[in-house]
Structure formats: structure tokens, C-alpha cells
Amino acid sequence: MQYDNRKISIRQLFIIIIVAAMSSIIQVVPRLVGGTSGNAGWTAILAAFGFYTLLILMFAKMFGKTSATDLYELFVAAVGKILSKIIIAIYGIWTFVLIAFYSRAFAERFTATILPNTNPAFLLVLLLAICAVFAYGKLESFARFAELSLYLFAGIFIFLLAVSLPTIEIRNMLPVTTLDTLPILSGAMIMLGFWGYLTFGLFLSSGAADLNNFKKQGIKSGVYLGLFALITFVITIGILGANWASGLNLPFFTAVQTIRILRVVERLEALFLTFWVLADIVIVSLFLYVFLNILRKLLPIENPKNLTAPTVLGVFLLASVIAGNFSDLTAFLETFVVPANFILGIAVPAVIFAIGLLRKKF
């Protein structure tokens, strides 16, 4: 499905996915990967990159062997239309939950840091209104916003790494031994669940003009995701240590709070939160696009944009009750979001690929 007459490039689609994943990387890498893999968390990121590359190669083969242009059409090619509709309905339900989860996480983050007296409902309305504007607009305009956000993110992360180097303790990331093998694999699986947002983004790949560049751009996206994750891990764990970081709700934010420039410039966390907002806008908007696209596949509707308003209203209601506070939201992340993301982002596509191979469709 296309939202516009024009198409975005596959490079732009991957940029959207990278920036969307950044919102999760900032939260998940220090707390969950650091808590699971400890000092060896950085090797878990490297392992995740290897598995992510296999995911890219798998999708590249699937697109190359069929005339499919998006994830739904790949599923249809492998298992037929009826089963595919059931599967994408499950994706649609979980996508709706993710929109609510990330919207509430945005609101809770600000009330827990710099806006403690602000009503979370106000922040929810503000974020969802911005994302609704993108959903009503053109996909290529959203892609350009994500591209600008990526450049800004790259700049701020390089800057934060540079100014934090004097306070980073390398010993916090060593040693790594063979005893860390299982924790490393566990940490890699956690990472893959969020890098697996690629799978959700492929519901929009019919709007990309050059799927023949999928493998090249996909591997490049994995490099960017790996670098962002490594920088996040090095700064947080290098400053705080894995044990301390895993017990904090916002470990990367805490680490940034400790950074000082020449003992003069402080409060870098406010600058960092500004950039985190960009990632929140992109991830909520991406999943909103995906959800509307899935509805288009399931329902006899001509223009999914007409469902934007009721979808946003439903998201607001779910986001208002999905958690009582930041701790509840973190528990929801660890209990439901991590395993469900891995299943839908990684396991289901792998099973579909295996079925397609057995049926000689790919």
C-alpha cells in the first residue's frame, strides 16, 4: 500500500526504522542488556548484529524470489491469504499496544525527569497530535523528518561519547570469558527483539521504490544500529557499571547527568531529552503508519488515513491505563514487550521463511 503517489527510497525506510529503534536502544541496552549480560553486554550487541545481518539476508532472499513488495505479500506467498490475514491481525493488535506503550513511556519519562508536575495526559495528547499530523500527511515528509533526526542523533551521540571519555571506566566492561556465553546470547536476543522492528517496518515497504537495494541498505542499517547501541552501552556501563545501571529506570539519562564539560557546562541531560523526543515521535508515527496499513489489508477501506483519529483516540485510552507509573511500565517492558517483540520481529518471519523454502516459494 502507498499513502502517496510518490515513493520513498528503501534507504529512507531503513532510516525510519533506525531512528524508531533508537528510542528502545536508549532504554533497553543499559538496563536489560547490561543487567542480563553484565560487563559482556557490548559483545551481546556484536552478536545481535550478526543475527540481524542474517535477518536482512533472509528478507532479501524472500523479496528477490517473489514479486512481493511488503511483509503481507511475503506471508501470502509462503502460507496463503487466509493464514496471512490471521497472522497480520496479530501483528496489528501488538502494533496498537506498542503505540500505546511508547506514548505512555514518553509521558512517564518527562514526568519522572524534568516535568514532574505535568499531567501525563497532556503529554500524551501532545505526542499523539504530532504523530497524527504525520499520519495524515505524506510518507515522504515523515521520511525526511526521520532522516534529519538521524543526523541530529549521530551528532549528539558522538558529542556525548567525546565528552564522557574522561569518566568512562574500561574495567566496567571487562573481563569477558567463556562463562559469559549464555548471558551474551540472552542479551543478543533482547537486542534482536527491538532491532526486529525492521519486520514491522516492512508493512510499509510497498511504498519504497528500490527494493533491489534491500540487502545493501539493510546491512548498513545494522551497522548504524550497532554503533548507536555500543555508544549507549559504553557511556552508561562505562560510567555507572552494569550492576548500578540495571537497577535504574533511566540509566543512560543518569549517566548523561554525570557528564561535565571542563567543569563548567552541565545539564546535558536536557539537551539529550530533546533528541530522545525525536525518536519517540518517529517510533510512534511509524507504528501508527504500520497499524493503519494493516487495517487496509484486513478491512475493505480505501483510505486508511480516515481511521487515524479513532485510532489515536483508542491509543490515548489504552496508554492511560497500560501502567500506573514508570515502574509498572518497566515491568510491562520486561514481561511482555521483550518476548513479544522477539516472537513477532524475529521468530515468526524465520518460521515463514522456512515454510516458504519447504514449499519452494523462496
CATH of the domain at 351: 1.20.1740.10
- Please report the pLDDT score of residue 324 as a whole number: 82
d(Cα 220, Cα 241) in Å, to the nearest integer? 30
Q: Has residue 5 been placed in a domain?
A: no
Residue 262 in this model has a pLDDT that exceeds 50: no
Q: Has residue 336 been placed in a domain?
A: yes
| Residue range of the domain that includes 149 | 10-358
Number of domains in the chain: 1
Q: Has residue 256 been placed in a domain?
A: yes
The residue type at 62: M
Residue 139 in this model has a pLDDT that exceeds 70: yes
Each residue's pLDDT tens digit, 175-230: 898 889 999 999 999 999 999 999 999 999 887 878 889 999 999 999 999 999 99
Q: Has residue 3 been placed in a domain?
A: no
- Please report the pLDDT score of residue 266 as a whole number: 54
Residue 263 in this model has a pLDDT that exceeds 80: no
- Please report the pLDDT score of residue 247 as a whole number: 85
For 49, other C-beta atoms within 10 Å of its C-beta total: 21
Q: How many CA atoms lie within 13 A of 223 on its CB side?
A: 6
Average pLDDT over residues 232-243: 92
- Please report the pLDDT score of residue 119 as a whole number: 86
Q: Has residue 323 been placed in a domain?
A: yes
Residue 1 in this model has a pLDDT that exceeds 50: no
- Please report the pLDDT score of residue 260 as a whole number: 67
Name the percent of the chain lying above pLDDT 90.
Answer: 67
Q: Has residue 280 been placed in a domain?
A: yes
Q: Has residue 255 been placed in a domain?
A: yes
Residue 351 in this model has a pLDDT that exceeds 60: yes
| Angle, alpha carbons 101-298-126 (nearest 5°) | 30
Each residue's pLDDT tens digit, 98-138: 999 999 999 988 888 777 778 889 999 999 999 999 999 98
Q: Has residue 322 been placed in a domain?
A: yes
The residue type at 166: P
Each residue's pLDDT tens digit, 317-327: 999 999 888 88
Average pLDDT over residues 303-328: 92
Each residue's pLDDT tens digit, 41-79: 999 999 999 999 999 999 999 999 999 999 999 999 999
- Please report the pLDDT score of residue 321 as a whole number: 93
d(Cα 8, Cα 139) in Å, to the nearest integer? 7
For 262, other C-beta atoms within 10 Å of its C-beta total: 6
CB 230 within 8 A of CB 213: no
Question: CA end-to-end span of the chain, whole Å?
Answer: 22
The answer, as to whether pTM is greater than 0.85, is: yes
Residues 39, 224, 151, 275, CA torsion sign: negative
- Please report the pLDDT score of residue 250 as a whole number: 85
Q: Helix, strand or coil for residue 322? A: coil
